[in-house]
A and B are shown apart, each in its own frame.
Chain A
Amino acid sequence: MRIAVLVKQVPATEDVKIDNKKGTLIREKSEVETNPTDLTAISQAVRIKKTIGKGEVVAISMGPSSAIKTLREALSLGCDKAFLISDRIFAGSDTLATAKVLSRALQQLGPFKIILAGNKSSDGETGQVGPSVAMQLGLCFTTYVTSIEKVTDDFIVIRRLTETEYERIKLKLPALLTVTKQVCEPDLPSLRNKIRALELKIPILRATDLGIADSEVGLKGSPTKVMKIFRPKIFRKGKIIKVGNVRKAVKEILLFLEKQGVSSQW
C-alpha cells in the first residue's frame, strides 16, 4: 500500500512585527519547524504501513528549499521517500493554488491508496488545503480524524471529532484524511532512520516538472488577495492587584464575583 503524507514547514514563532509602511510582515527570527500536526500524520502513516505489512510512505512538502529539513525529519521518522515541490512561482499561493500544486504532485507521484495530512497548519490555520486537494483529485475524504480503527486494502474506518460527538466513518480507498494530534503520539526517530535520512536524496520537483503554468499559481493564480494586515486591539482597562496577602486576593475575587452576580446563585 502506498501512502502519501503532506507536510508543511512553518515558522517556529508567533512573534511577528508589521512593517507599517509596506503593510507586510517582518519575521523576527527565521526559525522554522515541521507543523506539529503533520508530525502526527507522518507517524500515523508509518504505523498504517506497519499494520498492513507492506508498501511505502512518501512525504511531500511544498515550500522553499529550507523545507528539505522538514522532509529529512519525515524520513528520520520512517518515511521511505520524500519529495520537495518548490518553485519561485509558487510563492504567494493561497489555499486553492497550493492545493492545485499538491494535487498535481500527488498525481505525478501516485497512485496512492491513502493520503494523510495534519488537519491544519500552525501558521495559516485554515485547514482548507486537505479538502481542496481531495476535491481536485476527486477523492473520498474526511477531516478531524482522532483515531484509525481499521485499514484494509479497500477501506479504512476512522473516528473523528465534531463539536458534539465522535463519529465513526468508513471510507473506500483511495481516500484523503486530515488528522488531529489525538490520532497518535508522534514517534521518535530511530538512529537507523536518522542516518538513512541524511543519505537519501530528496528530489525537487519544479513547476515545469508538474506541467504547472505561472497563471495557475502564486499571487496570479490565487483567487483571494490579502489587501492589508493590521494588529488586533483586544485590550481593556482593568484593576490589577499585586498580592502579598492571599486572603486579600481571595476577598477581591469574591467581591468581583458578587458584583457580577455569580454568588447570588449560591
Chain B
Amino acid sequence: MVKQEHTDSIWILCEIKEGRIIEASYETISRAVLLSRKKKAKLCALALGYNIERRDLQGLIEMGIDEVYYSDDVRFAHSLPDDYVQITISVLKKHKPDIFIAAATTFGRTVMPAIAAGLNTGLTADCTDLDIDCKKGLMIQVRPAIGGNIMAVIETPLHRPQMATVRTNLVSLPNRTPNRRGKIKRINFFSSKNSEPCSEWLDSTKIGSKMPLDKAEIVVAGGRGLRKAENFSLIRKLADELGAAVAASRAAVDMGWVDYHHQVGLSGKTVTPRVYIAIGISGAVQHLAGISSAKSIVAINKDPSANIFKIADLGIVGDLFEIVPKLLQEIRKAKGRKR
C-alpha cells in the first residue's frame, strides 16, 4: 500500500492460544502505547481466535487499546496461516493503519511476512526496540543483525502500514486502567473464496518442560566448554539442585547436546532470570543478546579473555569440570544441614 491512503492509527496483532490472549501480545501493547503517545494516534487491536475469553478483550481496553476488532471463528482454532492471513489483510486494507506490529513468536514470524507481502509493504523482523522519529513521523525499528554484533536502525518511509515483529520477554506488561473506555467490535467478513483451507491441523503434543525457561528465576546454561553430550548432565544436575531451568548456547544446541527450545540468545530465547549461571559459554554476542536483561550473571570459563566475563557480575576463571562437581557437592551439603 502506498502512503497517501493510510490513517494515523497503530494496530497490534493479538495472538490467541486456546481462547486466551498470550502474554507476548500484551508486551506488544506496552510497546504500542509508547508509540501512540508520541504520535498521539489511536490504538487498535486485532484478535482472531476461537472461543475467545471475553474478559481478555475487555482487558485490552484497560491496557490502553481504543478499539478492539475481533472474530471468534472455528477456522482460527489452530492458528493456521491460510484464512488468518487473508482476513487480516482485508481488515488492514479497510482500516489502513499507519503501523502494525506483532510479537516475534513462531506464529508472528510466520503470518506477518505473508501479511506484509499481501499488502506489498515492508516488515522488520525481531525488533528489540521501537520508537517514533517525531520529525518524520516514522516508526524507528531497531533490530540486531549478524549474530547481534550489529544493531540496525530501519525505517519504512513510503509504504504502509509500517510493520514489525517485536522480540518478546524484554519489556514489562502494560498497566491497567480499570473502567477505561473503548470499543469492542466484531468483524464481519464474508466467507472468502478459499472456503476450504489448504492446511489442516491434525494434533499437538505439548513439550514436556519442568521449568519454562523464559519464566525461570534461576537459569543454568551450558556451552561448548562442556566438550561432549554426556557432560551436559552436569548442567542438568546443577539446575535440578537449584530448582533452575536448563539453557544452552547455540553451539551446544547445534552439536545436538540439548534440544532447541533450551537455546538462549538471538536465535533462541531471551531470558530475564534473577540469576543466570553460564558454564563453559564463551559469550558470543549472539548469546549475550539473550541474557543482557538477566538481573545477575555468574560465569564459569577457563579462558580469562572470554567475552562472557564482560557481562558477568561474578566471573570465575577456572576449570568447570573441577568447579561444578564441587559446587554440586557443597549445595547438597548445605541443603542437608538445613533439613
Chain A residues in the interface with B (C-beta under 8 A): 11, 14-16, 18, 25, 36, 94-96, 99, 120, 122-136, 140-144, 157, 161-172, 175, 180-182, 222-232, 234-236, 238-243, 246-247, 249-250, 252-254, 256-257, 260-263, 265-266
Contacts and interface: CB of A to CB of B under 8 A. Distances in A.
A122 B146 CA distance: 8
A260 B275 contact: yes
Nearest to A265: B243
Given A253-B327, A256-B314, 18 more contacts: A120-B267, A124-B145, A161-B261, A163-B105, A163-B261, A166-B205, A225-B156, A226-B154, A230-B153, A231-B150, A234-B285, A239-B313, A242-B318, A249-B300, A252-B314, A254-B334, A260-B296, A266-B335
B129 to A, nearest CB: 11
SS of B interface (majority): mixed
Given A128-B125, A171-B199, A238 B150 contact: no
A93 B161 CA distance: 19
Contacts of A142: 81, 110, 199
A165 to B, nearest CB: 4
B92 interface: no
B327 to A, nearest CB: 5
B146 A16 contact: yes
A104 B267 CA distance: 29
Contact of A168 (B106, B115, B156, B204): B204
A253 B316 contact: yes
Contact of B151 (A126, A130, A229): A229
A161 B209 CA distance: 14
B113 A14 contact: no
Contacts of B206: 164-165
Interface of B: 17, 78, 80-82, 85, 105-107, 109-118, 120-126, 140-141, 144-159, 198-207, 218, 242-243, 254, 260-261, 266-267, 274-275, 284-286, 288-289, 292, 295-298, 300, 304, 309-319, 322-323, 326-327, 330-331, 334-335, 338
Nearest to A251: B330
B289 A170 contact: no
B147 A14 contact: yes
B275 A262 contact: yes
Contacts of A228: 152-153
A224 B106 CA distance: 22
Most B CB contacts (10 A, CB to CB) among A164, A166, A172, A265 go to: A164
Contact of B152 (A130, A134, A168, A229): A229
A261 B274 contact: yes
A225 B157 contact: yes
A224 B150 CA distance: 17
A131 B289 contact: no
A144 B106 contact: yes
Contact of B201 (A25, A169, A253): A169
Given A125-B266, A239-B313, A223 B122 contact: yes
Contacts of A224: 122-124, 141, 154-156
Contacts of A227: 140, 153-155
A131 B113 contact: yes
Most B CB contacts (10 A, CB to CB) among A175, A238, A243 go to: A238
20 contacts: A16-B146, A96-B120, A96-B122, A161-B207, A161-B261, A162-B107, A164-B206, A165-B204, A167-B203, A224-B154, A225-B154, A232-B149, A232-B289, A234-B285, A234-B288, A241-B315, A246-B318, A246-B326, A260-B295, A262-B274
A234 B338 CA distance: 38
Contact of B260 (A136, A161, A168): A161
Contacts of A14: 146-147, 149, 284-286
Contact of B116 (A96, A171, A241): A96
Contacts of A132: 113-114, 116-117
A242 B304 contact: yes
B260 A232 contact: no
Nearest to B86: A135
A120 B286 CA distance: 15
A181 B254 contact: yes
B158 A223 contact: yes
A170 B314 CA distance: 49
Most B CB contacts (10 A, CB to CB) among A36, A120, A175, A257 go to: A257
